[in-house]
Amino acid sequence: MSKWIVIAQEAANHPFDEHFDLSNSKHTEYYTDIFVDRNNPPKGYIIASGAELDMKTIYGRIIMSLKSYCEETDKKIYVFSPAWPFTEWEKPDHVEHISCHSYDITNYHSGLSTYKSDDPLYNFDDIGDTWSPDLLFTSYNNRPCIYRTYLIGELAKHNLLDQGIVTYPYLKYPDLTNYLSKYIPDSKELKDPLEDSFKLGTKDEFQPNVLAPSYRRGVIDIVTESRINPDEWYLSEKTNKAIITLKPFLVLGSQGYHQWLHEERGIELYHELFDYSFDKKHDLKDRADGIVANIKRLANYTKTPEQCKQLWHKVRDKAERNFFNHMDNMRTGKMQQPLIDFLQAHSDDSFDYTYDCLSKLITTLSPNKKQNSIGEIHQTCDFFRGTVVPYNNAESYNGITLYKDYSDYRSDPTSEAKNIWITKSE
């Protein structure tokens, strides 16, 4: 029986990472043959990419090499990702894009882990009255890019780096060093003072969704999101960390990103602190300048740790509501529902989210044609089986104790938080 073929990321880049040439028929035919069994043609193709939007770089070769085959057989490649990167690549006709935010599953589990006292990678001190931030902001940046460089340069130009903690490995790159040295005295290294050996992915505590040791020192988090082009709505671990730790935040992302967070993700904006007019600006530099202007204004009256603490007290109840509403939004599974709907619609049997059920419907092929894990699709089904379905059926689910766990960290949680999490579970 034919199945849907899931195109895994590692397979999409094989075997012509550097020398693949679509004009070379031998390259195209060989690459296509990896994903086409002409004796048992697939029903179609699926790309599940909740954490990556760069379709052209990651999947471009296989998408285009399958173009002729898809056109000849009237088959489609269904891409499930937060958004299609239209600015970088016009979507081919043989591709159907369906918005799906499966990275929310990782974000949800990060929120749960943050308030588990037995998880040393996430836990932090009481966030009630005893919490005492001593800096205005933090801004953690790892991957070098133009917009991060510009934002950090503007913070330095306005003498704001000493008001917070900024990380950015710019000294590894001569061009970035030349640019930022105009604003950063003596080419100062920008790093978390407690992360001398930081290198992303080399240790458990150096994973993207783990809280850095000095993260809670700053009241505000300045987030430089992974995507910044129009309509590329994506809530990565960067924004998620600010929400789950009750930090007000400013995001350098796509135009209208804060409005999207409010309208689509239910996040209340911090109008008590920020002027969000920059969010509507089309030019990325204007949006970066607006963020810097907000920080510069707030820096005028947050000179001491006590003043930083007072700033947070203005919005802490709102920050708490944002956390629980955000977690509530994710436990419903509505941002991954399009993928589940697709699987259910194409399943011949009653779809029960199990691996056995998935294995009848889809297969994932590596370049040597050996089946490997279903990866993100399997993760999504696990999430529905362990969290979404039992929650919607008022049964015990993964996360049901969140309010109790959270109460151990905040000595005086509001009744609103309890109502959001517990009342909706009943």
pLDDT in tens, the chain (426 residues): 688 988 877 666 544 444 445 455 554 555 566 677 777 788 999 999 988 888 888 888 888 888 988 999 999 999 999 999 999 899 999 999 999 999 999 999 999 998 887 766 665 665 666 778 899 999 999 999 999 999 999 999 999 999 999 999 999 999 999 999 999 988 889 999 988 888 878 888 888 888 898 999 999 999 999 999 999 999 999 999 999 999 999 999 999 999 999 999 999 999 999 999 999 999 999 999 999 999 999 999 999 999 999 999 999 999 999 999 999 999 999 999 999 999 999 988 788 888 888 888 887 654 444 444 458 899 999 999 999 999 999 999 999 999 999 988 777 788 888 899 986 555
Give the span between the Cα atoms of 259 and 7, in whole angstroms.
Answer: 33
Neighbours of 348 (CB within 10 A): 8
Whether the CB-CB separation of 133 and 214 falls below 8 Å is answered with no
Q: 């920050």: which residue's tokens?
A: 319
Neighbouring residues of 16: CB distance < 8 A, sequence distance ≥ 6: 27, 31, 61
Whether the CB-CB separation of 250 and 291 falls below 8 Å is answered with yes
Where, residue-wise, is CATH 3.40.50 in the chain?
104-330
Q: What b/e readout covers 15-53, taking b as 16+ CB neighbours within 10 angstroms?
A: ebeeebeeeeeebbeebbebbbeeeeebebbbbbbbbbb
Give the span between the Cα atoms of 7 and 268, in whole angstroms.
Answer: 37
Choose the CATH number for 104-330 among 1.10.4160, 3.40.50, 1.10.3470, 2.170.130.
Answer: 3.40.50
Amino acid at 353: Y
Neighbouring residues of 407: CB distance < 8 A, sequence distance ≥ 6: 413
Residues shown for the chain:
426
Tokens matching residue 381: 């089904």
Amino acid at 376: E
- Helices then strands, counting H and E runs in the chain, come out as 18, 9
Neighbours of 234 (CB within 10 A): 23
